[in-house]
Amino acid sequence: MGVTAILLAAGRGERFGADKTQVILRGRPLWRYAYDTFRSMREITEIGIVAHADHVEAFRELADDADFVVAGGTTRGESARRGVEAATQETLLIHDAARPFVSAEVIKRVIDGLETADAVAACVPVVDTIKQVVGEDVATLDRNRLVAMQTPQGTKRNLLLRAYDEVSQEFTDEMALLEQIGVRPYLVAGDAANFKVTTPEDLLRAAGFLGAPETRTGLGYDIHPFATDDRPMMLGGVRFDGPGLDGHSDADVLLHAVTDSILGAVGLGDIGQHFPNTDPQWRGAPSSVFLHHAARLVREAGWEILHLDATVIAEQPKIMSKAREIREAIAASVGLAADRVSVKATTNEKLGALGRSEGIAAFAVATVRQSP
Ligand code: CTP
Ligand code: MG
């Protein structure tokens, strides 16, 4: 049997204070977590997203393997209805995109339940004592008889279409709606990780589930010979008296090493792959443009740059006289405070090609951490 998973992501996130399903958590938008889990399951043969009307186009691009993306309505119920109408399979699972950590096990329990029941949903026991408050009246409900509903909630498409036809009242989940047409939900165990991100504090909880952000280190190295023409000497984005270095772009050996170190820290390849000297887009571009662009790629991949350290190996010029300018130039290109950039220099003690002043080399080390 085919199964359509419908991801509801059309809410405004009023209690959260922003469109919570779009929030980036460890480099991935919140909605993407559940999406990827459903995608990974062979039982799911169709996936649709219900997005806010303003985001439908963006979702079509970001989730280019989604089977459909439709605009939601002003209520969760209306959004679900639009997803149900777009679905092509008879068996449907409806899931809140705001529950990022739904597991394949929970999804599987709901699917298995549908083999014998018309409607199945995940739920968890209630941990707090719940009171019913009506005006002045306060009644204590028996906690042992209560459960908190989660998603996914699964049922048959034709049952939901019938319920939409027959029931005009709005409900906060599909099971409540189906109860109105006499369908009795079969409840399976959800789990604590499958909580719904509702308030800003819930995002901290979500980050907690993912564990501490990872820290990584990247190494960069580059070397250029001195030029025979009168090109300017650029080192760390700062101009020095000539002779300059020969090579691609402005041949800024230090910025090239730093660029490779940040790309390396997050496994994004190297400078030659991103800025090939055959690409006219980068011809004649100052190396600070490469570094700036690479730093953006690193951030987009979900990492923040914490610290950069570099060593230049050169008999000449005297680099440390402009160390402060270099640190500020690198910091500005990367979007970092200058005290998080370190630059050092050494001669090669007249040894080898560098010692004979045939060229300049640079090493750089970058430390990066996953974004919260
Ligand atoms: N949802 C939806 N369409 C709506 C309202 C909600 O698709 N008109 C989705 C949300 O995007 C969320 C899920 O239904 O994934 C559960 O809803 P809820 O937690 O209430 O999210 P919001 O409505 O966005 O939040 P709030 O109620 O605080 O505004
Ligand atoms: Mg809501």
Tens-place pLDDT, residues 296-344: 999 988 899 999 999 999 999 999 999 999 999 999 999 999 999 999 9
Which pLDDT band, with edges at 50, 70 and 90, does 277 fall under?
confident
* Neighbour-count burial for 206-231, b at 16+ CB within 10 Å, e otherwise: bbeebeeeeeeebebebbbebbeeeb
Is a pLDDT exceeding 90 seen at residue 103? yes
pLDDT of residue 26: 87
Atom of ligand 1 nearest to the CA of 19: 24
Across 87-99, average pLDDT:
98
Q: Which of 33, 96, 102 to mutate to test ligand 1, by most ligand atoms within 8 A of the CB atom? A: 96
Give the ligand whose atoms come closest to the C-alpha of residue 8.
1
CA of 208 to the centre of ligand 1 (A): 22
Average pLDDT across the chain, whole number: 95
CA of 100 to the centre of ligand 1 (A): 13
d(CA 200, CA 125): 24
How would residue 27 be classed by pLDDT, with cut points 50, 70 and 90? confident
How sure is the predictor about 198, in pLDDT bands with cuts at 50, 70 and 90? Answer: very high
Mean pLDDT of 155-170: 96
Ligand 1: centre distance to CA 124 (Å)? 20
Tell if the pTM clears 0.85, that is, is over it.
no
| pLDDT at position 71 | 98
pLDDT at 242: 81
Asked if residue 359 has its Cβ within 6 Å of ligand 1, the reply is no
Give the Å distance between the CA of 330 and the centre of ligand 1.
43
Contacts of 36-42 with CB under 8 Å at 24 or more apart are 37/102, 37/103, 37/104, 37/107, 38/5, 38/7, 38/93, 38/95, 38/107, 39/65, 40/104, 41/104, 41/107, 41/108
Cβ–Cβ under 8 Å, residues 109 and 22: no
| CB of 48 sitting under 6 A from ligand 1 | no
Nearest atom in ligand 1 to 72's CA:
3
Residue 17's pLDDT is 96
The answer, yes or no, to whether any atom of ligand 1 lies below 6 A from the CB of 96, is: yes
Q: How confident is the model at residue 282 (pLDDT cuts 50, 70, 90)?
A: confident
18 CB under 6 A from ligand 1? no
Residue 1, pLDDT above cutoff 90: no
8 lines ligand 1 (CB under 6 A): yes
15 lines ligand 1 (CB under 6 A): yes
- Calculate the CA dihedral of residues 230, 233, 237, 238 and round it to 10 degrees: -110
**Average pLDDT rounded to a whole number, residues 231-255:** 93
Higher pLDDT among residues 9 and 372, named by residue: 9
pLDDT of residue 280: 82
Residue 156, token pair as written in the block: 């048959």
Distance CA 184, CA 175 (A): 8
Ligand that comes closest to the CA of residue 73: 1
Mean of pLDDT values over 277-289: 85
**In the chain, % of residues over pLDDT 70:** 100
Residue 199, pLDDT score? 97
* Res 248 pLDDT > 80: no
